[in-house]
């Protein structure tokens, strides 16, 4: 059973397009996250949702809009894609306790041409 799944695994698109990445977790967690990993492997949090409510929103362009239809899903929509958006995007989930482990999905590699 896949704990945290993301679709698609690879996404290649042109500058200016709009795209979405979906994330689902079957761990029963109440908190989900989006991270961005750049080409140098640097990993940074973008957003976090707890019980469908936004709790972390780092300095991310407003072209990025997360949506959480329920506790098990957190989707990421990106408008007007730019070259600099090329990265690997990871979804993660955990219980809302600082000591709790965050479980990561396999990642979505986004390439903007």
**Contacting residue, 40, 59, 62, 70, with other proteins by CB under 8 A:** 40
Residues 6+ apart with CB under 8 A from 20: 75, 76, 77, 78
Quote the CA–CA distance of 102 and 19 in Å, as a whole number.
Answer: 25
Give the containing element (helix H, strand E) for 22. strand 19-25
Q: Tell me how far, at minimum, the Cβ of 101 lies from other proteins, in Å.
A: 5
Piece of the chain touching other proteins by CB under 8 A; list 18-26, 45-53, 60-68, 70-78 = 45-53
C-alpha pair distances (Å), 42 with each of 6, 38, 72, 103? 20, 6, 26, 18
Q: Tell me how far, at minimum, the Cβ of 56 lies from other proteins, in Å.
A: 6
Binding mask 49-88 for other proteins (x = CB under 8 A): -x----xx--------------------------------
Does residue 105 touch other proteins according to CB under 8 A? yes
Nearer to other proteins, 1 or 41 (CB): 41
Give the containing element (helix H, strand E) for 88. strand 87-94
C-alpha pair distances (Å), 109 with each of 8, 31, 103? 8, 23, 18
Residues near other proteins (CB under 8 A) are: 4, 31, 40-45, 48, 50, 55-56, 90, 92, 94, 96-107
């Amino acid at each position: 059973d896949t704990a945290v799944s993301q679709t698609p695994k690879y996404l290649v698109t042109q500058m200016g397009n709009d795209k979405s990445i979906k994330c689902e977790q079957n761990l029963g967690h109440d908190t989900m996250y989006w991270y961005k990993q750049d080409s140098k492997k640097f990993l940074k949090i973008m957003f976090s949702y707890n019980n469908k409510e936004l709790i972390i929103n780092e300095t991310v362009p407003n072209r990025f809009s997360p949506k959480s239809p329920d506790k098990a899903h957190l989707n990421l929509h990106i408008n007007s894609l730019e070259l600099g958006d090329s990265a690997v995007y990871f979804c993660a989930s955990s219980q809302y306790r600082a000591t709790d482990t965050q479980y990561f999905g396999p990642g979505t590699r986004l390439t903007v041409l």
